[in-house]
């Protein structure tokens, strides 16, 4: 279950307090008036007021008032529920009707109206219905006193964050109950599927309306549902992972080839895939429009991948990486450089996490995929993507060296090859940004006594021109602040070289023929 606290405008205690406050104010006001009018000459007990035939004229109006209260309640509720459904998801109506408090209060209004109307028909018989008259007064008073607190509850219920949190908690609870054997698989699967689609609708509609706060909440809730399944997966029965009905009934799988749907059953990843499909749709909608949403989607996908890795769920980890790759492809196709830049950052963070877990094989695969997308970005004339890949890989190599990872040498091979395709396709012998990243990494090696690795980088750069090497040296030495001078999601300057590594830059460049003989 999510540890996040959803915003709540009114707690139940506050709503009950409002009701009691209104009730108390009404009682005090009536008591004051009664004392003024009758306190000096009490000729009858207070309850006898409801026995007097003269009260009939008042009681006959109660039916109209209660029906009016019911009409006002239904009108207000219908309007705001419809507005919320149109803005976020049509399924809000279902959530509203299934809520026990809404059902209880509206039922109370209806029963009160019917009872009071029937009492009106009993006022003119041979016997005065004192009990029914008193009950009518109580019910009428409760109807009026409950009206404002109930409206406050309805507005609070329909707060988007509250709706999203309610869907998330019900889904997580359903998964846990199935894992404990406390609920049938089919019913829980259906409810969870509908809940995921509800959250996906909220996220997509929020992106469409540029409502970042609600989009963020829906995306985070989808992650919590996926994490709950990953955590509970070993306790879930095999029937939970069946995909026989998904290929014909589920909107996220009907377009997939039947063989692909069957693979999801074997990998036990249908729910994760469904959730990531919601992410993919929202990502495509937000590209070049709401880059913060794209970055958040990458963050939550990375966190899901980390959760899968922590729980040794290899199919789930692979599926998260596939969707990561899909994000990169979509960003490059849309020429959204900033989104690609942010997604690559999460890609690197995931690789660092896998390094700490000793997953060298997956880290090398991630590096190779990053190189592929960097070269793809260069091919479509957005070379900054390739430069970003080079800097991220250099950072990853530093972490690999510090942790003595077995994949270090393989990662260095990938970095030195990252601009190979660019060298063939352009007249430049290399890209300056890539070479700066490699030169920075060489200073790291020299500072840590790994000169042989720095020599490998020097051999790869031995054909660089003096002009390019001078430009690299000048650009790296000119940046003295680590924080970039503009606001960015990473907040660091690629060209920043720590003071303790600056002396090693010219040492490294001194190994290159063009630097020694301009």
**Which sequence spans correspond to the domains of the chain?**
12-31+48-157
Q: How far is CA 511 from CA 74, 358, 460, 508, in A?
A: 82, 34, 12, 6
pLDDT one digit per residue (tens) for the chain, 518 residues:
343 444 444 566 765 776 677 666 656 655 554 555 455 455 555 545 544 555 556 666 777 787 888 888 888 888 888 888 777 777 777 778 778 888 888 888 888 777 777 777 666 655 566 677 777 788 888 888 888 888 888 888 888 888 888 889 989 999 999 999 888 898 899 889 988 998 998 898 888 888 888 899 999 999 999 999 999 999 999 999 998 888 777 788 887 888 888 899 899 999 999 999 999 999 999 998 899 999 999 999 999 999 999 999 999 999 999 999 999 999 999 999 999 999 999 999 999 999 999 999 999 999 999 999 999 998 888 888 999 999 999 999 999 999 999 999 999 999 999 876 555 544 353 478 899 999 999 999 999 999 999 999 999 988 888 888 998 899 899 988 877 777 767 777 888 889 999 999 999 999 998 886 65
Q: Could you give the maximum distance between any two Cα atoms of the chain, in Å? A: 122
Sign of CA dihedral 398, 402, 403, 405: positive
Give the pTM. 0.79
Rounded distance between C-alpha atoms, residue 87 and residue 510, angstroms:
63
Q: For the chain, what's the residue count?
A: 518
Residues in Cβ contact with 135 at an 8 Å cutoff, skipping those fewer than 6 apart: 115, 119
Sign of CA dihedral 81, 85, 87, 88: positive
């Amino acid at each position: 279950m999510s540890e996040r606290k959803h915003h709540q405008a009114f707690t139940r205690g506050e709503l009950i307090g409002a009701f009691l406050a209104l009730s108390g104010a009404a009682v005090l006001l009536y008591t004051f008036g009664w004392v003024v009018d009758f306190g000096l000459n009490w000729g009858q007990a207070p309850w006898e007021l409801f026995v007097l035939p003269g009260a009939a004229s008042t009681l006959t109006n109660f039916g109209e008032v209660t029906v009016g209260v019911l009409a006002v309640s239904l009108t207000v509720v219908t309007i705001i529920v419809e507005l919320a459904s149109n803005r976020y998801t049509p399924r809000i109506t279902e959530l509203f009707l299934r809520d026990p408090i809404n059902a209880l209060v509206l039922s109370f209004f209806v029963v009160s109206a019917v009872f009071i109307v029937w009492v009106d028909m009993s006022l003119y018989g041979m016997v005065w219905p004192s009990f029914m008259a008193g009950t009518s007064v109580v019910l009428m008073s409760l109807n009026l006193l409950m009206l404002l607190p109930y409206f406050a509850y309805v507005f609070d219920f329909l707060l988007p964050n509250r709706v999203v949190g309610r869907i998330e908690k019900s889904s997580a609870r359903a998964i846990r109950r199935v894992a404990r054997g406390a609920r049938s698989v089919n019913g829980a699967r259906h409810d969870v599927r509908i809940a995921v689609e509800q959250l996906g609708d909220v996220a997509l509609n929020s992106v469409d309306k540029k409502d970042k706060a609600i989009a963020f909440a829906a995306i985070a809730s989808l992650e919590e549902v996926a994490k709950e399944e990953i955590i509970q997966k070993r306790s879930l029965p095999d029937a939970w992972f069946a995909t026989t009905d998904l290929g014909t009934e589920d909107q996220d799988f009907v377009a997939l080839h039947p063989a692909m749907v069957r693979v999801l059953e074997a990998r036990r990843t249908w729910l994760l895939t469904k959730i990531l499909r919601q992410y993919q749709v929202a990502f495509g909608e937000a590209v070049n429009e709401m880059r913060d949403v794209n970055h958040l989607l990458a963050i939550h996908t990375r966190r899901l991948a980390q959760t899968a890795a922590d729980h040794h769920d290899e199919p789930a980890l692979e599926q998260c990486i596939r969707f990561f790759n899909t994000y990169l492809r979509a960003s490059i196709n849309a020429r959204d450089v900033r989104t690609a830049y942010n997604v690559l950052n999460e890609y690197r963070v995931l690789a660092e996490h896998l390094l700490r877990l000793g997953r060298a094989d997956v880290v090398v695969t991630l590096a190779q995929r990053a190189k592929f997308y960097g070269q793809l970005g260069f091919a479509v004339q957005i070379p900054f993507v390739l430069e970003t890949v080079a800097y991220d890989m250099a950072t990853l190599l530093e972490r690999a060296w510090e942790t003595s990872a077995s994949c270090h040498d393989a990662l260095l091979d990938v970095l030195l090859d990252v601009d190979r395709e660019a060298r063939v396709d352009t007249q430049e012998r290399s890209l300056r940004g890539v070479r700066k990243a490699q030169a920075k990494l060489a200073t790291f090696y020299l500072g840590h006594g790994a000169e042989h690795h720095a020599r490998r980088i020097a051999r790869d750069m031995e054909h660089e021109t003096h002009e390019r090497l001078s430009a690299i040296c000048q650009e790296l030495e000119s940046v003295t602040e680590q924080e970039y001078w503009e606001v960015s999601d990473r907040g660091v300057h690629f060209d920043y070289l720590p003071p303790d590594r600056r002396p090693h830059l010219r040492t490294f460049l001194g190994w290159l023929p063009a630097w020694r003989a301009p």
